[in-house]
Amino acid sequence: MDFPKLERTKVNVDRLLRRAANAVYGAGFRAPSVGRLSTVRQNAADDIVETYLGEAEELVQLYLKGDRQCRDLLAVLAEDALAEMRHWVLVHSSRHGGIERSLAESDRWWLAPELNEYLDDPGFDKAKRIRVLNDLDSLNQVLGSYQHFYNVIKPYFNKEGETRILDLAAGHGGFALEIARLARKEGVKVSVTATDLKDEYLELGRDHAHREELPVSFAAQDALDLSNLATSESGVSDYDIILCTQSQHHFPPGLLNVMFNSAAAAAKRAVIFIDGCRSSLTALPVVSLALARYKNPVMAHDSLISFRKFFVPEELGMLCRLGPWNSHVDARWMKPGHCLVVLDKDRVS
């Protein structure tokens, strides 16, 4: 086999993929189930937040003061709120009939939060797990996703001095490492801490950071409780930005609410959540790439499952708005196919 020729072919394919991804990004194409249902979903989210906000705020405040029982109650409340929102969307779309009804019903069928990915199985083969993680990093770089994520967080960097970043549920730190690489190219000073509860992932990340001499550290950290990071009575930590990227769909919806409110209390400047956006149409090219470009059926399987577990922007936004920072939470679709939630604490009075 001519390996140099094979590598050149891969480089050319990646170049074409990058151009195609840039074209899609520039066009701002949204899947019909995302675009056509955005208004009805936003109306449902606003209605649900108004109904549940008072109770949610009280539970969040008690949890942040150390009441563990309130955390469980908050998670249940958020789960109920999401179930009610999804039912609200289905009912109101059905009343309109036509394409909205069809899109809502097909999205309801596509949604499958109970499915599990191979990467979530602790007993899954380690070598295959590492290959999937490496291929996912490559795909995010080829499609420009990591660059787009970086562009979102960059406005929240400190104008002077170092910006401290905490990445929650970061796994092996694929994006955390890319932040450090891109910042180094731009001459920007950052310090990134990637956290997870799996030692295997943390060790993989440490190896990468050490080899490239990147300012990224790896630490075990419960993403649902950041009270150990507090440096003041208000609960604020030394981290300017707290992130969670491409991990939200691995958590039950109720615990996502807990995570966001914990991060909101601890961050000095901003909280940024990014995950994929649920869409059967968007899933097709990603699964195809996993099979054709990477020849990785495990990656294809997990990508398909992820797209069935993802939230849509209005759902993720609703979950994050149930708490004291409700009016300051900005949730929106992020091209080419992600959900983005931002809390800018500099604007919180």
Are 158 and 238 in contact by the 8 Å Cβ rule? The answer is: no
Length of the chain: 349
Instruction: Find the mean pLDDT for residues 105-121.
Output: 95
User: CA-based angle 85:148:335, to the nearest 5?
Assistant: 45
Give me the mean pLDDT over the 334-345 stretch.
94
The pTM is what?
0.93
- The SS3 assignment for 175 reads helix
pLDDT of residue 1: 47
Question: Is residue 92 a contact partner of residue 47, using CB atoms and an 8 Å limit?
Answer: no
Amino acid, single-letter form, for residue 224: L
The C-alpha atoms of residue 159 and residue 34 are separated, in whole angstroms, by: 36
Cα distances (angstroms) measured from residue 234 to each of 208, 229, 349: 35, 11, 15
Look at residues 61, 75, 72, 73 and name the one whose alpha carbon lies nearest to residue 234: 61
Band the pLDDT of 14: cuts 50, 70, 90. low
- The per-residue pLDDT for 9 is 52
226, 263 Cβ separation under 8 angstroms: yes
In this prediction, residue 228 carries a pLDDT of 93
pLDDT of residue 6: 47
Containing domain of residue 10, as a range? Answer: 3-347
Least confident span in 27-41, 67-81, 320-334? 27-41
pLDDT of the residue at 78? 98
| 303: CATH | 3.40.50.150
SS3 category, 106:
helix
147-to-37, 141, 143, 196, 236 alpha-carbon distances in Å: 28, 7, 9, 22, 28
Which amino acid does the sequence have at 218?
A: F
Which has the closest alpha carbon to 170: 197, 151, 189?
197
Domain count, the chain: 1
Cβ atoms of 299 and 136 closer than 8 Å = yes
